[in-house]
């Protein structure tokens, strides 16, 4: 191959590797703005006319009963209709691991369509220099003497393949046609066993293992390994290698893919991985399913999957949007030390007191200091933001706050909530009782004040104890203290 040709190939591969995959978003954008596709989109949504004159519309008209739309992408069956500006790119994706014409069409059938796509695929393979050099003769139809087991990993076929001085251990599951390929630095029985042990740890131990009579497979060591694991070894006669067909064919297409991609800038391992992903996600001619769906029970997500606007992704997107929104809202429910808050009084329904946040003890727990110095522990749900402005409009009031307002009082309601800021005359009335449910963070001390003595908490982070709301007697507090309080203080 000429140097220039090689460079050309590098460039193409590099460009594609560096580019992000095309997504349904770009497809829908292109569909909406294309003069032909936008009309198809409209017709599909609102109904087709009895006939169309425009030649460009005809391929779509002929398929009109199978067309549908999803998030402004056009779908023919499950295949996304591709705008011509992405055709080349998609052809590159489809030809990623240099599959032949048949396989390429097979992959396309699960993802994409545009008028004349089959012709374009044929041309791509014909124009691919790598593919042309490694064109193989049609394989002799292999014998299929094996009993069809309706479960995967029941029987596996293994074989060694050599290419360009590299050795590969090929393993393929007979039922699902699930392939595994290992680049081997050694082909001894020991090295083979190491790989199989790894495989068995992932997928379990198969019932049967089919191989040819390679030295490593007939060795005592290998026999022993299979025996202790209860694997039946089926050896195919050397002159009958075709009966190990499953592995054989895989080997052939792998070798072909490897030759075709040899000028790639990708590492050998990357090319192996690329081949495996393509093979596993392409419908297999024998089974009519992808190896992935039979082996894993699900389809694998590939770069091509992004082309398909799917409901699932839409839902996920919506959910993440909701979460974002929710998170935004909950972000507001966060308080900082020194911030004024209203905290719920457990002893008295719908009673809230003005307090200052002292400390955040857990993501949703705070220690707050009431105006009278009491220290309470509160969950974020039992706290509300108190706006600074409240204190300004209640200048001459006293500072303890109490409200019998509705549960969901927002801050705008605060204006109507009585706010008390004790003055020298009304204060100090310390020693309000600490609710039974409360635990203070400071050692309790007895403070005598006025006619009342009771347990009180003297917080370490003490607020001015002279600024205290009127204490409340526990007995009177339970049923109707708010009114009383307001009355007394007014």
Of 260, 403, 449, 465, the one binding Zn ion (CB under 5 A) is: 260
Indicate the residue among 96 and 212 with the shorter CB distance to Zn ion.
Answer: 96
Of 9, 75, 82, 131, the one binding Zn ion (CB under 5 A) is: 131
**Residue 278 sits in the site that holds Zn ion (CB under 5 A):** no
Indicate the residue among 98 and 103 with the shorter CB distance to Zn ion.
Answer: 98
DSSP string, 195-209: HHHHHHHHH---SEE
- Site residue total, Zn ion (CB under 5 A): 5
Nearest-approach distance from CB 125 to Zn ion, in angstroms: 6
**Residue 489 sits in the site that holds Zn ion (CB under 5 A):** no
Indicate the residue among 104 and 294 with the shorter CB distance to Zn ion.
Answer: 104
Give the 3-state secondary structure of residue 156: strand
Of 128, 241, 242, 268, the one binding Zn ion (CB under 5 A) is: 128
Pairwise CA distance, residues 390 & 393, whole Å: 5
Indicate the residue among 98 and 470 with the shorter CB distance to Zn ion.
Answer: 98
Helices (H) and strands (E) in the chain, counts: 18, 18
Asked if 379 and 438 count as a contact pair (C-beta separation under 8 A), the reply is: no
User: How wide is the angle at C-alpha 112 spanned by C-alphas 110 and 127, nearest 5°?
Assistant: 105
DSSP string, 93-125: HHTTT---HHHHHHHHHHHEE-TTHHHHHHHHH
Alpha carbon of residue 121 to chain centroid: 32
**Residue 271 sits in the site that holds Zn ion (CB under 5 A):** no
Indicate the residue among 130 and 456 with the shorter CB distance to Zn ion.
Answer: 130
Asked if 146 and 155 count as a contact pair (C-beta separation under 8 A), the reply is: yes
Nearest-approach distance from CB 98 to Zn ion, in angstroms: 4
Nearest-approach distance from CB 256 to Zn ion, in angstroms: 9
| Enclosing H/E stretch for 324 | helix 311-332
Contact region for Zn ion (CB under 5 A) — 32-40, 124-132, 344-352, 384-392? 124-132
Indicate the residue among 63 and 163 with the shorter CB distance to Zn ion.
Answer: 163
Contact region for Zn ion (CB under 5 A) — 17-25, 92-100, 235-243, 395-403? 92-100
Centre a 10 Å sphere on the Cβ of residue 243 and count the other Cβ atoms it contains.
Answer: 18
**Residue 8 sits in the site that holds Zn ion (CB under 5 A):** no
**Residue 101 sits in the site that holds Zn ion (CB under 5 A):** no
Site for Zn ion in 419-478 (CB under 5 A): none
145: left (phi over 0), alpha (psi -120 to 50) or beta: alpha
Residues that bind Zn ion (CB under 5 A): 98, 128, 130-131, 260
């Amino acid at each position: 191959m000429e140097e220039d040709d090689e460079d050309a190939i590098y460039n193409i591969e590099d460009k594609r590797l560096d580019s992000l995959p095309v997504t349904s978003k770009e497809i829908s954008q292109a569909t909406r703005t294309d003069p032909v596709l936008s009309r198809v989109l409209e017709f599909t949504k609102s109904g087709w006319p009895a006939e169309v004159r425009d030649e460009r519309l005809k391929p779509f008209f002929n398929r009109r009963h199978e067309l549908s739309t999803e998030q402004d992408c056009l779908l023919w069956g499950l295949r996304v209709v591709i705008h011509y500006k992405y055709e080349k790119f998609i052809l590159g994706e489809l030809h990623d691991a240099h599959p032949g014409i048949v396989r390429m069409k097979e992959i396309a059938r699960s993802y994409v369509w545009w008028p004349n796509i089959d012709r374009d695929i044929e041309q791509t393979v014909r124009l691919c220099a790598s593919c042309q050099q490694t064109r193989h003769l049609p394989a002799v139809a292999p014998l299929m003497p094996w009993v069809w087991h309706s479960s995967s990993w029941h029987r596996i076929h293994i074989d060694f393949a050599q290419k360009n001085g590299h050795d590969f251990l090929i393993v393929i599951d007979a039922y699902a046609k699930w392939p595994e390929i290992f680049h081997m630095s050694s082909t001894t029985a020991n090295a083979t066993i190491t790989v199989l042990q790894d495989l068995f740890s992932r997928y379990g131990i198969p019932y049967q293992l089919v191989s040819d009579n390679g030295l490593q497979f007939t060795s005592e060591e290998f026999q022993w390994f299979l025996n202790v694991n209860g694997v039946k070894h089926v050896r195919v006669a050397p002159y009958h290698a075709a009966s190990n067909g499953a592995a054989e064919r895989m080997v052939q297409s792998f070798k072909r893919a490897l030759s075709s991609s040899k000028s790639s800038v990708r590492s050998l391992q990357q090319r192996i991985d690329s081949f495996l992903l393509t093979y596993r996600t392409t419908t297999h001619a024998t089974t009519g399913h992808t190896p992935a769906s039979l082996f894993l029970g699900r389809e694998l997500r590939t770069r091509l999957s992004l082309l398909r606007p799917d409901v699932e992704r839409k839902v996920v997107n919506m959910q993440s949007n909701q979460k974002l929104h929710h998170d935004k809202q909950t972000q507001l429910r966060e308080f900082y030390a020194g911030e004024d808050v209203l905290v719920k009084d457990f002893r008295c329904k719908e009673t809230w007191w003005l307090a200052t946040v002292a400390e955040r003890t857990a993501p949703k727990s705070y220690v707050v200091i009431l105006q009278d110095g009491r220290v309470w522990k509160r969950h974020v749900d039992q706290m509300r933001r108190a706006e600074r402005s409240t204190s300004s409009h209640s200048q001459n009031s006293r500072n303890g706050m109490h409200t019998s307002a509705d549960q969901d009082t927002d801050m705008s309601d605060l204006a109507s909530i009585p706010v008390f800021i004790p003055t020298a005359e009304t204060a100090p009335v310390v020693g309000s009782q600490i609710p039974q449910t409360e635990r203070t963070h400071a050692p309790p001390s007895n403070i005598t004040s006025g006619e009342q003595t009771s347990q009180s908490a003297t917080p370490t982070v003490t607020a001015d104890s002279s600024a205290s709301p009127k204490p409340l007697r526990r007995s009177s507090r339970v049923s109707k203290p708010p009114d009383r309080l307001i009355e007394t203080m007014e």
